[in-house]
Structure 1
């Protein structure tokens, strides 16, 4: 079997099964595990998959920076954001992550809502300037320009006195066995810390991020109570997540 044929078969297996195991691939192709591992390394370098111990997972396509992602407005993204905004109750303290869907969430919060929004995203804070009854608490730190959020020791320290009702989290990867992930190490630490300071974590995810993984793990699927997805997300993608105990809301 040619290298190109093996790689095509690997991508097909990833799309079908959600993961591949190097030993099983080697047996199926009749080649050594070293050959399969080389294929996986090359494919990972091309951004086609995410390598993990013993095999690989589908790679998250969410690699564009904030400005590029913000230019991609979709009805599905707005629906996810609107459904999440409707979960915020009167008088609650909520943490809102960075990201373009979370910016949409902020836009959908009712102008008369009385609540407190804690965020490490300047973009979220700016969206809420004209909401007279929403108190905005901005977490400072080093600005991670790719996502326009603050990260680092100062941001983590600022969280120590906060106890929120909800945390709305954005991710780049959602996978039943690999959990939630993102493409930056410090962002992963920050998201994990934000989740630890909220009673419940709600994850907002477009369908292209489900059954995919990025380089840095945030936590297991069980860290979230709710996953808000696009209405037309295939059940084959969401059923394993629901089986893991997450409530799936279709927007």
Structure 2
């Protein structure tokens, strides 16, 4: 009996070590890496200042306090709001399946991931995949951008992100900054996740539960809204 239990413990240890080795190799091969000091571009124009305090930073010399805002006054729209008025219409025919097209940066996980065009199994083995379709656009389309990744490689820490956390997508020399607004768990067959949206939205999807062995029955969804854009030139 003791010999049998010892054998089972040894086998369990080998399986655990093998699983951790697989995760390490998969993470390394996906190209993910820690965020560097200068990877996230700072918007020098507004220095990410709070809109409520922006006016007080630019008062004329003869004013000591900001005037009260009346219902007739218009609050200037943010850079992101101005850009979303006229989405760019393209077919993106220049991008082939599996092509590297940008970067996803998640400060909450201290990780950056290359983004590849497509979400087929071969592409997802490379890392994070962009989901092309009738209801989605890359970030410059200013509608619904959907990125997918495996739970046991690139997105295994996704459940640690909190509401309000920021994420960044860098695409064609523009950095798009998003704020997480909602997370939820849904069935793997739920078709209401990848739908058309009128506001610029970033959605991340991965299988769930994160530690499930085999084909996971559910999906973990992170939804974020565009809050700013910054040129990388």
TM-score bracket for this pair, using the shorter chain length: under 0.3
Q: TM-score, normalised by structure 2?
A: 0.27
Higher relative contact order (CA 8 A, sep 6+): 2
Q: TM-score, normalised by structure 1?
A: 0.26
More helix by percentage: 1
Greater gyration radius: 2
